[in-house]
Amino acid sequence: MRLEPGDVLLVIDVQNDFLPGGRLAVPGGDAVIGPINRLIGLFPHVVVTQDWHTPGHASFAESHPGRAPFDTVALAYGPQVLWPEHCVQGTAGAELAPGLDATRAGLVIRKGHAPLVDSYSAFLEADRRTRTGLSGYLRERGLTRLFLCGLATDFCVLWSALDAREAGFDTLVVEDAVRGIDRDGAVSRAWSRMAAAGVRRIASPAITGPG
């Protein structure tokens, strides 16, 4: 597939805490960096997201006495899975992976920074009302086709892809440039949900530059 001027690469949460050795390590998470760096070199536009939580964030198990990671609790907006503390603003774990060549990114969008609201999606917080501004940015810049990559397939990539479709963007996920947490088969369910929403799947070697 040859890239066009309205194409944007959306690099989701390639941050230290999601890599092996991090607080919420995604198995094989570091394997996405090589393919993503190649794609960054090809795309006319690159946007990066960063999970960026306040200390004591409501999505952390540590913030709910007696609860453990991966339990589900009820928050004001509905059910919330609890995670080990991760990607706290300003910490080394929240930094982009040092091997990620993010210098060409035109926008870094930070999400999950409201203390009581999580945000898997790059577009819409977990209250499903508060917008991050990303769809406005993409529209103002005339960007219409989104290629998603990064971590994790079954959470932030999934929710971002579904919301991208909801917002009317042509949406593809780069299958070899994502990895999932994959508890209880969540990755295969994520692929099914994305396919049902009209998200296409592509392999990174099939993507070639615009010229």
Q: Number of residues interacting with ligand VGL: please give it, by CB under 6 A.
A: 9
Q: Which amino acid is at 78?
A: G
Marked catalytic residue, from 7, 17, 30, 111: 111
| Residue from 51, 85, 125, 163 binding ligand VGL (CB under 6 A) | 51
Out of 33, 61, 151, 172, which residue is the one contacting ligand VGL (CB under 6 A)?
A: 151
Q: Select 113 or 141, whichever has its Cβ closest to ligand VGL.
A: 113
Verify whether residue 170 is a known catalytic residue: no
At 82, list the tokens. 């609890």
Nearer to Zn ion, 51 or 163 (CB): 51
Verify binding: residue 60, ligand VGL, rule CB under 6 A: no
**Contacts with ligand VGL, 97-126, as mask; x by CB under 6 A:** -----------------------x------
Q: Which amino acid is at 174?
A: V
Tell me if residue 156 is catalytic: yes
The binder of 155, among ligand VGL, Zn ion, none, by C-beta within 5 to 8 A per type, is ligand VGL
Q: How far is residue 18 from each of residues 12, 15, 59, 86, 141, measured CA to CA in Å?
A: 11, 6, 15, 8, 30
CB contact burial 114-127 (16+ within 10 A = b; e otherwise):
beebbbbbbbbbbe
**Cβ contact 124:132 at 8 Å:** yes
| Sign (positive or negative) of CA dihedral 54, 179, 69, 124 | positive
Binding-site member from 152, 162, 187, 194 for ligand VGL (CB under 6 A): 152
**CB nearer to ligand VGL: pick between 144 and 175:** 175
- For residues 15 and 152, the answer to whether their CB atoms sit within 8 Å is no
Quickly count: other Cβ atoms within 10 Å of residue 192's Cβ.
Answer: 10
Q: Which residues bind ligand VGL (CB under 6 A)?
A: 13, 18, 51, 83, 120, 151-152, 155-156
Residues identified as active-site:
13, 111, 156
